Structure 1
Amino acid sequence: MLWQSVLEREKGYRVLGWGKDRNERPVIGACLLADDQLWLAEGPEGAALDGKDPTAWQQLRQRAGRVRMQVVLSEPCYQLLSVDKPSGHLDAELASSLPYLVQDLSNVPLEHIHLDYFSAPTPADGREKLHVAVADRRRLSALVQRADDVDLTLDLISIEELVLLDLLPPQPRPHILLWHLPGQPLKLLLAHEGRLLFSRNVRGFNLLDKLSDEEIRQGLYEELLLALQRSGDYLVRQLKQSAAEGLTLVLPLAQQQLLAPMLERDLTLSVQCLVDVDHSPQQILAHAAAMARGSDEDAN
Structure 2
Amino acid sequence: MDKRLISRLAFWQKKATSIDLGVYVCPDKLWVYAPATDNLAQQWLSFELQNEQWQTAFAALARTFPNARLQIVLVSSCYQLLVADKPNVNAEELPQALLWSIKDMVTIPVPQIHLDYFESPLPSNKISVVVVAKDYVVNIVQAINSQGLSVAGISIEELVMTNLFIDDNQARLIVSHHTGQELLLTVVKQGQLYMQRRVRGFMQLDKTDVDQLHYGLADNLSLEIQRSMDYFESQLRQAPVASIELLADGAVDALAKLVSANFNQAVNVIDKSAVGARMAELAFSEFSRGAE
Query: Does residue 110 in structure 1 map to residue 110 in structure 2?
Result: yes
Q: 1:197 aligns with which of 194, 199, 210?
A: 194
Alignment of 1:174-213 (within 5 A): 174-213=171-210
Larger Rg: 2
Query: Does residue 47 in structure 1 map to residue 40 in structure 2?
Result: no
Q: Aligned to 2:105, what secondary structure does the other structure show?
A: coil
Query: Distance in 1 between the 2:60 and 2:168 partners?
Result: 42
Normalising by structure 2, report the TM-score.
0.84
- Structure of higher RCO (CA pairs closer than 8 Å, 6+ residues apart): 1
User: Closer, same or farther in 2 for the Cα pair 1:57/1:118, shift >3 Å?
Assistant: closer
Q: Which runs of 5+ in 1 are unaligned?
A: 1-23
Residue of structure 1 equivalent to 2:101 = 101
RMSD between superposed Cα atoms in Å: 2.1
Q: Deviations over 1:3-40 (max 9, x none)?
A: xxxxxxxxxxxxxxxxxxxxx942111111126x3222
* Paired residues of 2:173 and 2:245 also in contact (CA < 8 A): yes
Q: Deviations over 1:152-187 (max 9, x none)?
A: 011110000111211126432321011111111111
Alignment of 1:16-27 (within 5 A): 25-27=18-20
Q: Aligned to 1:205, what secondary structure does the other structure show?
A: coil
Shift in Å, 1:79? 1.2
Q: Aligned to 2:107, what secondary structure does the other structure show?
A: coil
Query: Does residue 145 in structure 1 map to residue 142 in structure 2?
Result: yes
Shift in Å, 1:103? 1.4
User: Closer, same or farther in 2 for the Cα pair 1:53/1:83, shift >3 Å?
Assistant: closer
User: Closer, same or farther in 2 for the Cα pair 1:153/1:116, shift >3 Å?
Assistant: same
Query: Distance in 2 between the 1:275 and 1:182 partners?
Result: 17
Q: Which runs of 5+ in 2 are unaligned?
A: 1-16, 35-41
* Paired residues of 1:178 and 1:188 also in contact (CA < 8 A): yes
* Paired residues of 1:121 and 1:128 also in contact (CA < 8 A): no
Normalising by structure 1, report the TM-score.
0.82
Residue of structure 2 equivalent to 1:272 = 268
User: Closer, same or farther in 2 for the Cα pair 1:170/1:255, shift >3 Å?
Assistant: farther
* Paired residues of 2:115 and 2:132 also in contact (CA < 8 A): yes
Residue of structure 1 equivalent to 2:80 = 79
Letter in 1 for 2:47: A
Letter in 2 for 1:54: Q
Residue of structure 1 equivalent to 2:258 = 262
Query: Distance in 1 between the 2:74 and 2:156 partners?
Result: 5
Q: Deviations over 1:123-175 (max 9, x none)?
A: 7xxx5111111111111000000011011011110000111211126432321
User: Closer, same or farther in 2 for the Cα pair 1:107/1:38, shift >3 Å?
Assistant: farther
Residue of structure 2 equivalent to 1:28 = 21
Residue of structure 2 equivalent to 1:38 = 30
User: Closer, same or farther in 2 for the Cα pair 1:195/1:295, shift >3 Å?
Assistant: closer
User: Closer, same or farther in 2 for the Cα pair 1:122/1:129, shift >3 Å?
Assistant: farther
* Paired residues of 1:122 and 1:129 also in contact (CA < 8 A): no
Which structure 1 residue ranges, 4+ long, deviate > 6 Å from structure 2? none
Query: Distance in 2 between the 1:102 and 1:204 partners?
Result: 26
Paired residues in the alignment total 265
Q: Aligned to 1:266, what secondary structure does the other structure show?
A: coil
